[in-house]
Chain A
Amino acid sequence: DADVTQTPRNRITKTGKRIMLECSQTKGHDRMYWYRQDPGLGLRLIYYSFDVKDINKGEISDGYSVSRQAQAKFSLSLESAIPNQTALYFCATSDFGGGAAGELFFGEGSRLTVL
């Protein structure tokens, strides 16, 4: 089984619908991240969390919210999806601080299409 698991892997939805992407990990890492990837734009950070009580906005948090239900679980929600949120979403984890914070372990990605 994968160390970082994302569900669903693919989702097609309509404008205005609420969507939740879920991420769970077995690596025992405290730090978890949500990124989105668009062609030509690389990976952009949406939200990150260092523990259950610590949630931080990233570069592009507008239109998104997150929940850290447990050390191993970090969910991303789109309250009212819009077409420009169509993208590939990645969950990632890392160990604590310093250079280890730059070694991310990614899930397999969740492809979201908003019509």
Chain B
Amino acid sequence: QKEVEQNSGPLSVPEGAIASLNCTYSDRVSQSFFWYRQYSGKSPELIMSIYSNGDKEDGRFTAQLNKASQYVSLLIRDSQPSDSATYLCAALSGGYNKLIFGAGTRLAVHP
């Protein structure tokens, strides 16, 4: 099993809907998780981090961590066409020394 796994998509949602992006992880990573957004042709940028079980909200974004099931989710409420991007799930590995990324999920929000 890869350390961090994501469905590559694309995930297509209508404008205004909730987009749900999922990520699973192995025992080889630490309990620190991050969501990055990457627009086409641009570099990734951090949008959320989560370290504890449960939900963490920031504006329209909610990160969810379930350690028992080893998955991390990102919910985007009221999705906008400007949210169309690739979302990368990442986890710290090697004793908090390096960040390992999943393959990314491409999200398309259509008007």
By a beta-carbon cutoff of 8 Å, the part of chain A in contact with chain B is 33, 35, 40-45, 48, 50, 56, 58-59, 90, 94, 97-99, 101-104, 106-109
Q: Is the CB of A102 within 8 A of B92?
A: yes
| Max chain B Cβ within 10 angstroms of own Cβ: one of A42, A50, A56, A94 | A42
A35 to B36, CA, bound (A): 14
Q: What are 21 A-B residue pairs whose CB atoms fall within 8 Å in the complex?
A: A33-B98, A33-B99, A35-B101, A42-B6, A42-B103, A42-B104, A44-B101, A90-B43, A90-B44, A98-B32, A99-B92, A101-B96, A101-B98, A102-B32, A102-B33, A102-B92, A102-B99, A103-B46, A103-B49, A107-B43, A108-B43
Q: Is the CB of A102 within 8 A of B101?
A: no
B88 contacts chain A at the CB level, 8 A cutoff: yes
Instruction: Give every chain A residue within 8 A of B32 (Cβ-Cβ).
Output: 98-99, 102
Q: Is the CB of B43 within 8 A of A109?
A: yes
A59 to B51, CA, bound (A): 24
Q: Which of A33, A42, A103 contacts B102 (CB 8 A)?
A: A42
A50 to B101, CA, bound (A): 19
Chain B interface size range: 20 to 34
A35 to B44, CA, bound (A): 11
B45 contacts chain A at the CB level, 8 A cutoff: yes
Instruction: Give every chain B residue within 8 A of A45 (Cβ-Cβ).
Output: 98-100
| Max chain B Cβ within 10 angstroms of own Cβ: one of A35, A43, A58, A59 | A43
Which B-chain residue is minimally distant from A42 (CB atoms)? B103
Which B-chain residue is minimally distant from A97 (CB atoms)? B96
Instruction: Give every chain B residue within 8 A of A94 (Cβ-Cβ).
Output: 99
Q: Is the CB of B92 within 8 A of A104?
A: no
Known: A102-B32, A102-B99, A107-B43. A42 touches B88 (CB 8 A): yes
Contacts of B15-45 to chain A: CB distance below 8 A: 32-34, 36, 42-45
